[in-house]
Amino acid sequence: MIPAIILFAVTYVLMLAFSKYRPFFALGSGLIFVIFGLLPLNQVLSEIDFNVLLMIAGTMGLIALFIESKMPALLADLVMERVPNVQMAAVSLALFAGIISAFVDNVATVLMIAPVALEICKKLKTNPVPFIIAIAVSSNLQGAATLVGDTTAIMLGSALDLNFMEFFFYQGKPSMFFAVELGAALSALILAFLFRKEKTPIPKTGERTKVTDPVPTVLLCLLLVLLIAVSFAPDSWHLPAEINGIICCALMVVGIAIHFAQKRTLTAITEPLKQIDFETLGLLLGLFLMIGGLDHTGVIGKLAELLAKLGGGNVFLLYTVIVWASVLISAFIDNIPYVATMIPVIGGLALQLGATTGVDATLIATPLYFGLLSGATLGGNMTPIGASANITGIGILRRQGYEVKNSDFFKIGIPFTIAAIVPAYIYLWLVFGV
């Protein structure tokens, strides 16, 4: 266990210190985990989230066609017609990304909204780095708002046997959705404050970009509809775990095939494929292997046990520890294995506390589960490598020639996270605390 912790810590320090080489550090560390048996070879494939990798690859190829069609430029024109200045353009795009992310995977949301933000920044000759970071962190926030917004939300819904509407009202009380939206409202004000100097008026030229090919837009809309649809699919359908990724890659193939039929050149196939960011995919692959190693060596399980001990027998103290420790832990550890480990721990703690206090264990477990979801979902916004959406956004910027410094991310991610989690933390205890 100790070697795994040391290797993980050293790797993260190196990734934060040398941002240009993050994929190489992550992949190298992941291989070391496998070579030295910290992650058994027969468990490697099960630890890799192929759904995320396929989704990123497929959507990036489709987005390349989307950009070539000039639709993002037209959408940028439409946004610029309706907002007074750069500040409101940034906040509006972040809020829009959040709305979509409540129903669609965070990574897919970033990939779809980022091209519009880049076009706006290009037209206004302003730095796109804070725009893309704001979109990424806003997408992460809203993933906890509904049952279908994020993998962790789906896991929690299964643990509590929640249906879609119970994320809005549970036990007759306003539920998780409203806690997230309180955080979203305050974090939007934080974004407005962070962009307060961006008061440059947006010129109203009245000119709009002409779209050259409607097919990529149709395919992206179809992608959005299909991702939402499969998120509601019942378990009895037995869809593969990689269904989102399969959909994204299939639509990319369809888009490239139509593009080739239109252009009749080899570049019609190769150019979209070149836009797939293999560095981002490599970074995520390395992280999956490292997190898998931490899980296998018992590090994540020990963290869960430690949190339980820190909370003692006081439900409010336990709730507080779970929320804020989840924020910190998820800034460095993928929230999916962490949440998967914590769910049974919380269930056991609730039963123990229920037996000693005479309070219904379900009433005790509810604020703890919701606190876990809110803390673990938002914690990824604390660091540039704390969530897949952040990694994807930074990868998009890197391919555009922009290097994102840690300070660039921290000055948006940290205040945004605090602004989002504090109201949710207070709200959930006031509504569901025992």
Q: Which range, of 115-119, 200-204, 404-408, averages the lowest pLDDT?
A: 200-204
pLDDT at site 432:
92
pLDDT at site 133:
95
Residue with tokens 């931490």: 294
Would you call 170 helix, strand, or coil by DSSP? Answer: strand
Cα–Cα distance measured from residue 128 to residue 287, given in angstroms and rounded to the nearest whole number: 26
What is the share, in percent, of the chain residues with pLDDT greater than 90?
27
Q: Residues 353, 342: contact at Cβ < 8 Å?
A: no
Give the Å distances, CA to CA, from 178 to 86, 138, 156, 175.
29, 15, 16, 6
Give yes or no for residue 337 having a pLDDT over 70.
Answer: no
Give yes or no for residue 104 having a pLDDT over 80.
Answer: no
Residue with tokens 């940028």: 76
The mean pLDDT of 404-411, rounded to a whole number, is: 90
Q: How confident is the model at residue 338 (pLDDT cuts 50, 70, 90)?
A: confident
For residues 122 and 157, the model is more confident at 122
The mean pLDDT of 105-120, rounded to a whole number, is: 84
Query: In Å, how far from its chain's centre is CA 57?
Result: 16
The mean pLDDT of 390-395, rounded to a whole number, is: 89
Q: How confident is the model at residue 307 (pLDDT cuts 50, 70, 90)?
A: low
Would you call 169 helix, strand, or coil by DSSP? Answer: strand
What is the share, in percent, of the chain residues with pLDDT greater than 70?
96
For residues 4 and 16, the model is more confident at 4
pTM: 0.76
Residues 294, 299, 301, 303: what is their CA dihedral angle, to the nearest 10 degrees?
-130
pLDDT at site 136:
93
Q: How confident is the model at residue 233 (pLDDT cuts 50, 70, 90)?
A: confident
CB contact set of 342 (below 8 Å; sequence gap of 6+): 304, 307, 322, 326, 372, 376
Cα–Cα distance measured from residue 348 to residue 133, given in angstroms and rounded to the nearest whole number: 38
The mean pLDDT of 170-185, rounded to a whole number, is: 92
Give yes or no for residue 71 having a pLDDT over 80.
Answer: yes
The mean pLDDT of 223-248, rounded to a whole number, is: 81
DSSP letters, 171-233, are: TTEE-HHHHHHHHHHHHHHHHHHHTTT--PBPP-----PPPS-SHHHHHHHHHHHHHHHHHT-
Neighbours of 193 (CB within 10 A): 12
Cα–Cα distance measured from residue 77 to residue 152, given in angstroms and rounded to the nearest whole number: 36
Domain ranges of the chain: 2-432
pLDDT at site 256:
94
Cα–Cα distance measured from residue 196 to residue 339, given in angstroms and rounded to the nearest whole number: 36
Q: Residues 111, 65: contact at Cβ < 8 Å?
A: no
pLDDT at site 195:
92
Retrieve residue 79's tokens: 């946004």
Residue with tokens 């829009």: 96
DSSP assignment, residue 147? T
What is the overall mean pLDDT for the chain?
85
pLDDT at site 346:
81
The mean pLDDT of 30-35, rounded to a whole number, is: 93
Tell me which residue of 83, 41, 88 sits closest to 198, measured CA to CA. 88
Identity of residue 77: D
pLDDT at site 110:
87
pLDDT at site 158:
67
Give yes or no for residue 428 having a pLDDT over 90.
Answer: yes
Tell me which residue of 420, 384, 315, 328 sits closest to 98, measured CA to CA. 420
Give yes or no for residue 16 having a pLDDT over 80.
Answer: no
Would you call 247 helix, strand, or coil by DSSP? Answer: helix
Q: How confident is the model at residue 272 (pLDDT cuts 50, 70, 90)?
A: confident
